[in-house]
Structure 1
Amino acid sequence: MYLADEAWPDLERYFDEESLAIVPLGSTEQHGPHLPEGTDHIIAEGFARAAAERTGFLCTPTINIGVSPHHRQFHGTMWVEPPVFRDYVESFTRNLAYHGIDRVIFVNAHGGNVQHLREVGRRLRDDGTIYAIEWMWNESIPDLVDEAFAQNGPHGGPKETALIQHLRPELVHDDRLEAARDGGLTSFDEATMRQHGARTFYDAIDNTDNGVLGDQTDATAETGRRLFEAASDQLVDLSEWLAARPFAELMPKDHV
């Protein structure tokens, strides 16, 4: 069920009978010369809607702009400051609690949002309002992602390219995949951009001239389909697991 498509009287039964909502979040930021700036929120909404259709749980509208100042040097990147993002998401989620939701899955497809969603989840759980957790698709199927690509990348790489080839192929510039690879960073490890144990970079452009990492030519729509289906299964299982938990079990334990 997609909340924005429903008339308010038709939502009453859901709020009376169910307690879980799925909230997609992403970003609007550069994803190299080959992918749309909406890559992250397209992916998040794809997973959230697919899980909602399969389970019957409620999917909210997507939060399209996240914490992305580290991509600001590239044209069109949009962002909000971390405190603004946290307060907005917290307010948005408390709104769901007002209607009777007491557990939320943040279906997140942008790494810059992670720590802030975790902080919001803690705030809401600590005051007993709601249990909210953050989920990222690639973290639910790490072995499959690693097996799929010789040179994976955390941003604009083959895994995101493959998913957009599957979800929105008309938005992928397939003729730029080699340029994306050759102008980005394909060889990197834990020591990249570190000095004597310190992480020395703040912005994506400090690492990669065109904003992306990995070998984008490894991506195919078929691989994207396999990744999407496998991660969707994980999100469905998580939704059903969370819905089945007694609310008291999800709240903080008493002091010892």
Structure 2
Amino acid sequence: MYLADRTWPELGDYVAEESLAVVPLGSTEQHGPHLPLATDHLIAEALAREAADRGGYLCTPTVDVGVSPHHKQFHGTMWVDPPAFRDYVDSFSRNLSYHGIDRIVYVNAHGGNTEHLREVGRRLREDEVAFAVEWMWDESIPTLVSDLFEHNGPHGGPKETAMILHIAPDLVREEKLEDARDGGLVELSDGDLFVHGARNYYDAIDNTENGVLGDQTDATPEKGERLFEAATDQLVNLLDWIDEKDFADLMAKPHVDPQPGSRRS
């Protein structure tokens, strides 16, 4: 069920029985010469809507702009500062809780969002507003990703290329796949990432001239479909697991005994 397509009475029927929402989040940032800037939020929305439909859950509109200042040198990249992003996600999550949603899965397809979504989840849990967790699609199926691609690359690589070939093939510039590979960094370990134990980079351009990593020529629509189906299965399983839990069991555990002040007269 997609929230924005429904009327308010229809949503009332949902929250009268269910209390879980799926929130897709991505970015609008460079993904090399072969993929659109929409790559991350396209993947997040496709997975979130498919899993919500299969499981009978509520999916919200997508957050298209995330924490992406590390791609700022490339044309078109948009970003918000981390505090603004955290406060925005926290605010609309509390809005969802007002309508009866007390379990939220952030379906995330952008690594720059991860630590901030986890921080928001901690805030909401500490306040006992909602149980909110961040889910990253490729981290749910690491073995499959490794099996399919020799050089999968953490950004703009064959795994994301394959996913977009499956989700939105018309947006992939297939004639640019070799350029993406040859102008980027095929193997991250070949880069000069650390100096005497210190990570010496902040931006993507510090490692790769065209902004991407991995061997994009290894991507196919068929591999994208396998990734999509496997990740969707994992997401549905997560949604069902959270939905079946008692809310109290999802909240922070109490302080160990003896309780503070319990022996004071």
RMSD: 0.9
Q: Following superposition of structure 1 onto structure 2, how do residues 215-230 of structure 1 map, counting pairs within 5 Å? A: 215-230=215-230
Give the deviation of 1:195 after TM superposition: 0.9
Give the deviation of 1:10 after TM superposition: 1.0
Deviates more, 1:155-164 or 1:9-18: 9-18
Partner of 1:117: 117
Q: Following superposition of structure 1 onto structure 2, how do residues 120-131 of structure 1 map, counting pairs within 5 Å? A: 120-131=120-131
Partner of 1:213: 213
**1:216-249 superposed Cα distances (whole Å, 9 cap, x missing partner):** 0000000000010001000000000000000000
Runs of 4+ in 1 over 3 A off after TM superposition: none
Aligned letter for 2:2? Y
Give the deviation of 1:187 after TM superposition: 2.2
How many Å separate the matches in 1 of 2:75 and 2:141?
A: 32
Structure 2: which 5+ runs fail to align?
A: 257-265
Aligned letter for 1:244? E
Partner of 1:6: 6
Partner of 2:253: 253
Distance 1:77 1:191, change over 3 A: closer
How many Å separate the matches in 1 of 2:251 and 2:93?
A: 16
How many Å separate the matches in 1 of 2:13 and 2:190?
A: 50
**1:84-120 superposed Cα distances (whole Å, 9 cap, x missing partner):** 0000000010010000000000000000000000000
Aligned letter for 2:205? I
**1:30-89 superposed Cα distances (whole Å, 9 cap, x missing partner):** 000000000000000000000011011000000000000000000000000000000000
Partner of 2:104: 104
Contact 2:191 2:207 in 1 (8 A): no
Give the deviation of 1:191 after TM superposition: 7.5
Structure 1: which 5+ runs fail to align?
A: none
Q: Does 1:154 align with 2:154?
A: yes
Give the deviation of 1:192 after TM superposition: 4.2
Q: Following superposition of structure 1 onto structure 2, how do residues 184-195 of structure 1 map, counting pairs within 5 Å? A: 184-189=184-189, 192-195=192-195
How many Å separate the matches in 2 of 1:91 and 1:160?
A: 30
How many Å separate the matches in 2 of 1:234 and 1:106?
A: 14
Give the deviation of 1:150 after TM superposition: 1.2
Q: How many pairs were matched up? A: 256
TM-score by length of 2: 0.95
Aligned letter for 1:199? R
* SS of structure 1 residue aligned to 2:255: coil
TM-score by length of 1: 0.99
Aligned letter for 2:104? V
How many Å separate the matches in 1 of 2:234 and 2:98?
A: 28
Identity of aligned residues (%): 68
